[in-house]
Amino acid sequence: MTADPRDLMPAVLSLKAGLGRLDLSRGLGIVPGPGCEAPAELLRTWLAADLPATVVQAQLASGEGVPVLRLGLEAGLVLPSPPGAPEEARREAYRLDLGPGGGSLVAGWVEGLFRGAACLRQLVLSAVSAPGEGLPAIAACRIEDSPRFPWRGLMLDTARNFFEPAFIERLLDLAALHRLNVFHWHLTDDQAWRLDLPGLPELARLGGRRLDRRYNVERWKTGSYSAADVGRIVAYAAARGITVVPEVETPGHVVALLSSHPELSCAAAMAGPGASVQFSPEDRYGIFEDILCAGNDEVFALLDKVFEGLCALFPGPWVHVGGDEAPKARWRECPRCAKRREALGLGPDEAGLESLQAWFMGRVGSLLAARGKRMLGWDEILDAGVPGAGSMAIPADALVMSWRGYEGGAAGARRGHGVVMCPQTKACYLDHKQADRPGEAGQLGVCTLRDSWSFEPVPPGLGPEEEARILGGQANLWSEQLYSESVVEYMAFPRLCALAEAFWRPRARGDYQAFLARLEVHKARLDRLGVNYRKALSD
């Protein structure tokens, strides 16, 4: 079968047809130039997995007559890019030339080589996805491509349900195939603490185990990620040009943390000295009133230790610290929090309590800044924090992840923050139902394939400087109802294909019917990889 470059997902920025085709029946040799070894090794790994075994064996037996793809970095290389794309996004630009003798993959930065490798892998998958239809080949072409946004993410919640490292690696491969470049790893919540940090074994030992109420017999949900697991996943992601962003929730969504450290709760402060307060990881879902005590300095001492271990494990520049859905009932009642509010000059009203959270998040941000990391939080971190407001402010360089709609993203951009858009309203929440029909899997709402494809990450009403602060978008997979790996894949695909296109393409949306036609071809690639996607493309 001859793969057609017009069927790539996401669609590429520029495509010119060439003469002839690249015959893959004897394989494809990969020759890296200086600095290109990592993407070259990735291509070799993918080709070994995707090409028929007879082709791979023939290539290994003899290099003679095998077409060759040469990888190169060219400083100062100028390639087409979407209008308004920032310099950070242009680092992922690449040029892929394919013809009868092989071809070349060149970029100005190594990030572009990773994206070009993913483009080539899709073409190879198409070429080999229909056995018996002729020799595998790719139509000759020149592709010049670059994304609109530098942040194109996928979030997986591993707190509500635990997923093995091998499956996370599979998701990373699928994310890379769609030219995504960020993996947001949700590691803690009320239901579990999944990170087994050196020196703090009690966090995962007590916070990573809860009853599974789906059974009559006693069964427990367990699982945590060791330092070795984290190192494995971070390295796997880096080998695919993906940055891993860990999330540890504060000050709310912390019942699992309080299971090992109940003394850090407002309940302990209200109970008085010597009183016993106990918590267990929640086996329910929702928003719970117990949060970290803002008046207890031991909270920040523990978080300092947590960030010390976490930042050593995750080399990326960002750490997500939550900040969402933090009810203030406990802070209103707590004597320690009352003393903190008084010391800060804050009242007991709602405005004072919101400012207390801004102070809390600002202090968390300073712990990260001391380790050279930037704070990232859900859009609630903006509710009272104003840049330049002294101690009642989140860091000026904090990133805002807008999930409650477009408003948080617009507010963050106007205040000078970088923003990642992932609104749950008919766009980015892939745990929602894929169709408004009885029996459709999912929770809380409906997010159709068309909704995801139609997503525009830039909120309306922003000026040019504010628009430039919108870094991109992200698909979020919350796992309350994701009980198995196959269900994760079913909820993610094909909507993740649509969001990948929304994050990559120029501002003009293009043609939805043309997208669906390309998706029909792309489904054969997903079949080849054994992905359990939703087969129906209708809403």
**For residue range 291-314, what is the model confidence (pLDDT) as tens digits?**
999 999 999 999 999 999 999 999
- Mean pLDDT for 414-425 is 95
pLDDT at site 266: 97
**For residue range 181-233, what is the model confidence (pLDDT) as tens digits?**
999 999 999 999 999 999 999 999 999 998 888 888 888 889 999 999 999 99
Q: Which one, of 430, 434, 406, lies nearest residue 420 by Cα?
A: 406
- Mean pLDDT for 262-274 is 91
128 within domain boundaries: yes
82 within domain boundaries: yes
The C-alpha atoms of residue 268 and residue 261 are separated, in whole angstroms, by: 10
- Mean pLDDT for 246-266 is 98
pLDDT band of residue 145 (cuts 50, 70, 90) is very high
Q: Which residues have CB under 8 Å from 348's CB, separation 6+?
A: 332, 338, 341
480 within domain boundaries: no
Residue 109 lies in domain:
2-145
pLDDT at site 56: 65
Q: Which one, of 116, 96, 94, lies nearest residue 104 by Cα?
A: 96
The C-alpha atoms of residue 533 and residue 311 are separated, in whole angstroms, by: 35
Check which CATH number belongs to the domain holding 100 and give it. Answer: 3.30.379.10
Q: Which residue has the tokens 């302990």?
A: 268
44 within domain boundaries: yes
Residue 446's alpha-carbon distances to 23, 38, 300, in angstroms, are 44, 40, 39
Q: Which residues have CB under 8 Å from 317's CB, separation 6+?
A: 243, 372, 373, 374
85 within domain boundaries: yes
pLDDT at site 389: 47
Q: Quick one: what percent of the chain has pLDDT higher than 90?
A: 83
403 within domain boundaries: no
**For residue range 391-407, what is the model confidence (pLDDT) as tens digits?**
567 899 999 999 999 99
pLDDT band of residue 1 (cuts 50, 70, 90) is confident
Which of 38-47, 119-128, 159-168, 529-538 is the least confident region?
Answer: 529-538
pLDDT band of residue 388 (cuts 50, 70, 90) is very low
3-state class (DSSP) for residue 377: strand
Beta carbons within 10 angstroms of residue 396's beta carbon: 11
- Mean pLDDT for 68-91 is 93
Contact 392, 384 (CB under 8 A): yes
Q: Which residues have CB under 8 Å from 7's CB, separation 6+?
A: 126, 518, 521, 522
**For residue range 335-365, what is the model confidence (pLDDT) as tens digits?**
999 999 999 999 889 989 999 999 999 999 9
**For residue range 437-473, what is the model confidence (pLDDT) as tens digits?**
888 989 889 999 999 999 999 999 999 999 999 999 9
pLDDT at site 59: 59
The C-alpha atoms of residue 262 and residue 481 are separated, in whole angstroms, by: 28
What does residue 119 show for φ and ψ, rounded to 5 degrees? -60, -45
Q: Which amino acid is at 478?
A: W
33 within domain boundaries: yes
Residue 82's alpha-carbon distances to 5, 14, 93, in angstroms, are 19, 10, 10
Domain count, the chain: 1
Q: Which amino acid is at 361?
A: M
pLDDT at site 426: 82
470 within domain boundaries: no
In angstroms, how far apart are the furthest CA atoms of the chain?
A: 82
